[in-house]
Structures are given as structure tokens and as C-alpha cells.
């Protein structure tokens, strides 16, 4: 009788799970953005989820947990209940750079998450303070070497997207001994510091930077990626300025804790795909220099795994220093 009762209970649970997924979501969804308000990831997330809210008939409550290159926010979601109501706006920082560059990590980027969909893959752009007397990458390198210790470069925090991007540039340009790294708690304060002259250059995701570049608040010198950005057509690629081996692009996507019902994951993935078809969403992203690109959970999982291996090899080749 006890065995029969157990079998009946398991059968009830099996039928209950699809029903729960079918009714999902029936209350607000907390989306952890592991960056400060105004950062690249946060910008992308708010634009896309504004449309997803209408599609799913449930609001997304954005909770900013900035710091440690996104590791703090990622850790929160990695250990959250896998019920679909706590999600992560993850990125190349949380799932590639931090795992590759950190000696210790409180989460596993592959085992602790279920990839839902890519949001976008975007280039990084190298900018300098508008008053700095340089107009090319070569001039920046020459100035740094002629005045050792006088140029500071910003990042959005140790292990962040911008940290990896700028560290790779510094290593390739052999500026490690003549420039000073100043980490901030996110891309937005790093950009602000460069505009204010606290730091002289910054290499971070294009998202959110285009308006400041167009207004002349900062000067762009080069962009990562295989081609120029439609938003900044006059800015050369790193390959064009003599660094063909430079490879560092930013990407952002949606993740759930491991163990989340596949039906919920598929429902969220479909909502992302539908949201980025909306012209208002597309236009809002393009104004920030972003091209949205949704993907299936399976394709995104492979993308995340491939990116982790790629950046592990890049960090090894560049002899980038590990962080605590």
C-alpha cells in the first residue's frame, strides 16, 4: 500500500508540473541585473523586458545587484528557488570573464544555470576623455609610453566585461607597466569617471555609450568585432588599427536557476524572441548601438559554453592575472 501511495503521489506531481507551467507567470518576476542602473546590461534588460511584461501579463521587477564584475548578482540567482520567478540578466562577464579570471567563484556558470535566450551580442568600444590630446589608438599608446604612470584606465570592476576588454588591450599594447587600472562598481560609473577625467580611457560595451560619443563627451578610438558598427560608422575596428588578434565582444542574455521547469524556460525564451520583433524595442536598442538577437535555450547553452572556452584560451594566451 505504501508503494502504491508513493506511485500515486509521483503521478500527481508529474501532472501538476505542466499545469503550473501553463499558469506561469501569475505574479511578478524578479530579474536580477548584476550591474548598476544605467550600465550596458541594465540598459538592454530594461528595454527588452518592458515588452516582455506585456507579452506575459506579469511585471518584471528589476533588482540591481552591482559589484564584483557581476558575480554578486549571479550568485543570488544561482542559489535561488528554480520556480521561474527569480531570473538573471547574465552576460559575458558573469559567464565567461568572472569564471576565467577568478581564483574562487561561488557558482558554476554551466551547472548552476539554465540558459533561456540570448538578448544581444555587441561590440566593445575604446574611448578616451574628450580633453586627452589623442585621436587614434597609436597616439594613445605613444602618449602612455611617453608619460609612464600618468594615464589611468577604468573598468566596470574586477572580472567585468570591460575589465577583460581593457586588460586584453593593455596587454597587447604593452601598457601594463605604464598605465594604472581603476576598477569601478559597474560600467556606468566607469564611463562617468572617464568623462570627468578621473580616468583617461575605458574599453567597454557600446550599449549606453553612443549618446555620449555623439555629444562629444568622450572620443572613440576603435571598436571590437569583425566589422564597424552602424551606430559609429567612422570608428575603425581594432583590426584596422593594427590589432587583428584582438577578440572581445560583449553579450547579454537571460538565465534561470538550474532545475527550472523546461516548459517555463521555453515560455520565457519565446517571449524574448517575440519582444525583439517589436519595432519600438528594436529602435530603442539601435539608438544605443545594440542589435538584439534571440536564441533557443539549446542554442544559447552551446553559445555560453563556447564563449567560456574561448575566453579561457584568450586569458591563457594573454597571461591575464587571476583575481581573488
Grid cell locating 159: 572580472
Grid cell locating 217: 563627451
The gap from C-alpha 128 to its chain's centroid, in whole angstroms, comes to 21
Q: 274: how many CB neighbours lie within 10 A of its CB?
A: 16
Of residues 87 and 35, which shows the higher confidence score?
Answer: 87
Mean pLDDT of the chain: 89
3-state helix, strand, coil in the chain (%, to 5): 45, 20, 35
Query: 12 falls in which pLDDT band (50, 70, 90)?
Result: very low
pLDDT average, residue stretch 32-48 = 87
pLDDT average, residue stretch 17-29 = 80
DSSP string, 7-63: HHHHHHHHHHHHHHHHH--SS-EEEEESS-TTSHHHHHHHHHHHHHHHHHTS-EEEE
Domains of the chain with bracketed CATH:
2-122+250-318 (3.40.190.150), 123-223 (3.40.190.10)
Has residue 106 got a pLDDT over 50?
A: yes
pLDDT average, residue stretch 23-39 = 91
Query: What residues contact residue 161 under an 8 Å CB cut-off, 6+ apart?
Result: 40, 69, 91, 92, 93, 97, 124, 187, 204, 205, 250
Could you tell me whether strands 29-33 and 151-155 are parallel, antiparallel, or unpaired per DSSP bridges?
unpaired
Taking the model in full, what pTM does it have? 0.77
Has residue 19 got a pLDDT over 70?
A: no
Lowest mean pLDDT among 168-172, 189-193, 213-217: 168-172
pLDDT average, residue stretch 123-132 = 96
- What is residue 324's predicted lDDT score, i.e. its pLDDT? 62
Q: Residue 282: in which H helix or E strand, if any?
A: helix 279-286
- What is residue 39's predicted lDDT score, i.e. its pLDDT? 77
Cβ(256)–Cβ(83) below 8 Å: no
Grid cell locating 80: 535561488
Has residue 183 got a pLDDT over 80?
A: yes
d(C-alpha 254, C-alpha 28), whole Å: 16
Has residue 129 got a pLDDT over 80?
A: yes
**Could you report the per-residue pLDDT of 217-268, keeping only the tens digit for each?**
999 999 998 889 888 999 999 999 999 988 788 889 999 999 999 999 999 9
Query: 143 falls in which pLDDT band (50, 70, 90)?
Result: very high
What does each C-alpha distance from 307 to 71, 218, 260, 294, 311 come to in angstroms? 17, 30, 23, 16, 6
**Rounded percentage of the chain residues whose pLDDT exceeds 90:** 62
Phi, psi at 300, each rounded to 5°: -70, -35
Has residue 5 got a pLDDT over 70?
A: no
Cβ(229)–Cβ(223) below 8 Å: yes
pLDDT average, residue stretch 81-93 = 95
Amino acid at each position: 500500500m505504501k508503494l502504491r501511495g508513493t506511485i500515486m503521489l509521483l503521478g500527481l506531481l508529474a501532472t501538476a508540473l505542466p499545469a503550473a507551467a501553463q499558469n506561469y507567470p501569475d505574479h511578478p518576476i524578479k530579474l536580477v541585473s548584476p550591474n548598476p542602473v544605467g550600465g550596458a546590461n541594465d540598459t538592454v534588460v530594461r528595454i527588452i523586458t518592458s515588452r516582455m511584461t506585456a507579452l506575459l501579463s506579469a511585471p518584471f521587477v528589476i533588482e540591481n545587484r552591482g559589484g564584483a564584475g557581476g558575480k554578486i548578482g549571479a550568485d543570488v540567482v544561482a542559489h535561488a528557488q528554480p520556480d521561474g520567478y527569480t531570473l538573471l540578466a547574465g552576460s559575458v562577464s558573469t559567464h565567461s570573464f568572472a569564471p576565467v579570471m577568478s581564483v574562487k567563484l561561488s557558482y558554476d556558470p554551466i551547472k548552476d544555470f539554465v540558459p533561456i535566450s540570448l538578448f544581444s551580442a555587441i561590440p566593445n568600444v575604446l574611448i578616451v576623455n574628450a580633453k586627452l590630446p589623442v585621436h587614434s589608438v597609436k597616439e594613445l599608446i605613444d602618449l602612455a609610453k611617453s608619460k609612464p604612470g600618468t594615464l589611468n584606465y577604468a573598468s566596470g570592476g574586477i572580472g567585468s566585461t570591460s575589465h577583460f576588454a581593457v586588460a586584453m588591450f593593455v596587454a597587447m599594447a604593452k601598457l601594463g607597466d605604464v598605465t594604472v587600472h581603476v576598477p569601478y562598481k559597474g560600467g556606468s560609473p566607469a564611463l562617468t569617471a572617464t568623462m570627468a577625467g578621473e580616468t583617461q580611457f575605458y574599453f567597454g560595451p557600446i550599449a549606453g555609450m553612443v549618446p555620449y560619443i555623439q555629444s562629444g563627451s568622450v572620443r572613440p578610438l576603435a571598436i571590437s568585432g569583425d566589422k564597424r558598427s552602424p551606430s559609429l560608422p567612422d570608428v575603425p575596428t581594432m583590426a584596422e588599427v593594427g590589432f587583428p588578434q584582438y577578440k572581445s565582444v560583449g553579450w547579454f542574455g537571460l538565465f534561470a536557476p538550474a532545475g527550472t521547469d523546461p516548459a517555463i524556460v521555453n515560455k520565457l525564451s519565446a517571449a524574448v524572441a517575440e519582444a525583439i520583433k517589436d519595432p519600438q524595442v528594436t529602435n530603442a536598442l539601435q539608438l544605443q548601438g545594440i542589435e538584439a538577437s534571440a536564441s533557443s535555450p539549446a542554442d544559447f547553452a552551446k553559445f555560453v559554453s563556447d564563449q567560456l572556452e574561448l575566453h579561457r584560451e584568450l586569458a591563457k594566451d594573454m597571461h591575464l592575472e587571476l583575481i581573488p
